[in-house]
Structure 1
Amino acid sequence: MVTIYHNNKCSKSRQTLELLREKGEELQVVEYLKDTPSAEELKVVLRKLGLKPEQVLRKGEQVYKEKFAGKSYSDEEWLQIMAANPILIERPIVVKGDKATLGRPPEKVLDIL
């Protein structure tokens, strides 16, 4: 089972989802803007990615610029911020078993299949 944290408005996310479908993967699609992962769920995904919360922040988003730019937060605080503001989570994130990757570029997900 492959899980993709997906935003249908994002072309890279759509391309990644299509690539996974072409590969015949059994998919769980999580539209994370509607079905937002908790801070604890994000922590598990980030551990699989091998990244810290700040490394998967979309710093170009307006909410980031208005509320969080230039401020320092702990990893736990960032997790809470991301759970409360899911638009800040980079996408797509693809998870298979104990591995995860960002689908940027979409072909990068092939490394974990």
Structure 2
Amino acid sequence: MIEVLHNPRCGKSRTCLAFLDEKKIDYTIIKYLDNPLSINEIETLLKKLNFKPIDLVRQKESIWIENFKGKNLDDKAIIEALHQFPILIERPIIVGKNHAVIARDLTKSEDLFNKLLGNQS
């Protein structure tokens, strides 16, 4: 089964769940704002996404701009920021066993999405 890192206040996140429901795809919702990911979980997610930590950051968020923008942060510091301020994590994210995708635009990520679903067991 796949997991969806979901923010109920995010329209893109709600659209992603509606898409999965329409396709009759089973999923588990992870409300990552209520239960922040651990450092290890973030590192695992980055591997599944094949991202550098900065690629996962919502760089237009006020928390990022006020606290981190323009600073010379290494990967460890960025991961710590994502852990401390989970609102900074891009969303929604669909996570399978071996892969994950940012599902902001499901049509643009269709190939990755199909790859993810093919590896959900």
Structure 2 length-normalised TM: 0.88
Contact residue 6 and residue 31 of structure 1 kept, 8 A = yes
Residue pairs, 1:93-104, within 5 angstroms: 93-104=93-104
- Large movers: runs of 4+ above 4 Å: none
How far has the Cα of 1:106 moved from its partner?
2.7
CA distances 1:26-52 after superposition (whole Å, capped 9, x unpaired):
211001110111111011011000001
Aligned residue in 2 for 1:58: 58
Residue pairs, 1:1-113, within 5 angstroms: 1-107=1-107, 108=109, 110-111=113-114, 112-113=116-117
Provide structure 1 residue ranges, at least 5 long, that are not aligned to the other structure: none
One-letter code of the match for 1:49?
L
- The structure carrying a bigger strand percent of its residues is 1
Aligned-residue Cα RMSD (Å) equals: 1.2
Distance 2:77 2:16 in 1: 29
SS where residue 72 of structure 2 aligns?
coil
Distance 2:99 2:90 in 1: 17
CA distances 1:65-94 after superposition (whole Å, capped 9, x unpaired):
100000121111111110000010000111
Question: Matched residues, percent identical?
Answer: 35
Provide structure 2 residue ranges, at least 5 long, that are not aligned to the other structure: none
One-letter code of the match for 1:84?
Q
Distance 1:24 1:75 in 2: 37
Structure 1 length-normalised TM: 0.94
Distance 1:15 1:74 in 2: 33
